[in-house]
Amino acid sequence: MDVSSIKMRVAGLRVFVFVAGCSPGVQLWRVVEVAIAKATFGAGCFWGVEAKLGELSGVLDTAVGYQGGTLENPTYKDVCTDQTGHAEVVQVTFDPSRLSYDELLEQFFALHDPTQVNRQGPDLGSQYRSVVFAQDDAQLREAQAKIAELNASGVFRNPIATVVEPATTFWKAEEHHQRYLEKRGMVACHI
């Protein structure tokens, strides 16, 4: 069988794998049961964070959105006022048999400056804060341990300012923000 492309779609606890090119004109969807997990990170502007985390082997899906605030169904315009309490975040759906939460944390801390408070680069405001929204107690403990490990290692000149909080409602951002850089043929922004 010659497989020319494989696409995955996550739905609940199932991953639907689309295999094209099996034979001319034949399309095949196969249901593959895998354990999936979610992780949510805020590291400044969500466009670049989504692009970088989406490149990792074992990431099944990404979505940008808002988390940690008080307004229900916030919009980008609402969050940019810095009055809702939300952070711009990326929710990552991943296969923990191929990518560990610890590896995701490593990438998260490597792709931004976690010592800055309420900013990343030129972006200022609490919506750009460095934050981990833990999906469960295990993620909470692992994120806190990673921060302690990085602080002790001296890899950053200043203490890590990243806040670790239990996950609250994730509000998916407007469609034009999803895979923003990819849609524009860009590979990175200023992060």
Residue 62 confidence (pLDDT):
94
80 counts as catalytic: no
The yes or no reply on domain 36-183 and CATH 3.40.640.10 is no
CB neighbourhood size of 17 (10 A): 15
CB neighbourhood size of 67 (10 A): 23
Domain ranges of the chain: 1-33, 36-183
Average pLDDT in the 160-167 region? 97
- State what percent of residues in the chain have pLDDT above 90: 62
Strand pairing class (5-11; 14-20): antiparallel
User: Residue 4 above 50 pLDDT?
Assistant: no
Residue 183 confidence (pLDDT):
62
Q: In this predicted model, what pLDDT tens digit does every residue of 116-149 receive, in sequence order?
A: 999 888 888 899 999 999 999 999 999 999 999 9
Instruction: Out of 22, 45, 80, 189, pick the active-site residue.
Output: 45
